[in-house]
């Protein structure tokens, strides 16, 4: 984000700037009037370069276990940063592992469902041989 050069002569309206108003709203009351216009301009330059944008998923909370409190944060959204080559390679590897795991799980689940359907219909592909899954499934759920 490009910011225009700041002219100290025009800084008299800095207090009416929406960014500065929001910033000062988070500062304790006793410290709000202690900032000079130059300091407020410097804070605006330093902090406005960072995008504090909203995320598609932003879940934050705390929970207590006995006398300790823990916090959790789950933030997800579209990647807008430029990644280094190493980060891109790591991201590709993680994505490939995730896809491999997902596809493996899907295939195994599909084969299990097909096996249970075959067994429910009484079809024996190899006479006299069973994996025992149908018997376990019947005893557990049916």
Model pLDDT for residues 19-55, shown as the tens digit of each residue: 888 888 888 888 888 888 888 888 888 876 655 567 7
Whether 10 shows a pLDDT value over 70: the answer reads no
Question: Domain containing 23: what range?
Answer: 8-74
Residues 56 and 92 reside in one and the same domain: no
- E strand intervals along 16-79: 57-65, 68-76
In a 10 Å sphere around its CB, with 0-12 CB exposed, 13-18 middle and 19+ buried, how is residue 20 labelled?
buried
From 22, 44, 74, the end of a domain falls on 74
Is 79 a member of any domain?
no
Is 120 a member of any domain?
yes
Residues 65 and 90 reside in one and the same domain: no
Residues 67 and 103 reside in one and the same domain: no
Q: Measuring CA to CA, which residue among 13, 72, 65 is closest to residue 40?
A: 13
Residues 98 and 124 reside in one and the same domain: yes
Number of compact structural domains in the chain = 2
Residues 62 and 96 reside in one and the same domain: no
Structure confidence by residue, pLDDT tens digits, 47-57? 766 555 677 88
């Amino acid at each position: 984000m490009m910011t225009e050069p700041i002219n100290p002569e025009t800084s008299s309206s800095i207090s009416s700037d929406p960014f500065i108003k929001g910033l000062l709203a988070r500062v304790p009351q006793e410290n709000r009037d202690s900032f000079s216009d130059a300091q407020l301009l410097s804070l605006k330059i330093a902090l406005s370069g960072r995008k504090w944008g909203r995320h598609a998923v932003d879940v934050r909370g705390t929970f207590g276990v006995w006398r300790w409190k823990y916090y959790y944060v789950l933030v997800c959204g579209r990647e807008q940063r430029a990644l280094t080559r190493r980060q891109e390679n790591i991201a590709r590897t993680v994505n490939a592992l995730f896809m491999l795991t997902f596809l493996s799980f899907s295939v195994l689940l599909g084969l299990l469902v097909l096996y249970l359907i075959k067994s429910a219909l009484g079809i024996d592909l190899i006479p006299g041989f069973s994996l025992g899954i149908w018997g376990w499934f019947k005893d557990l759920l049916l």
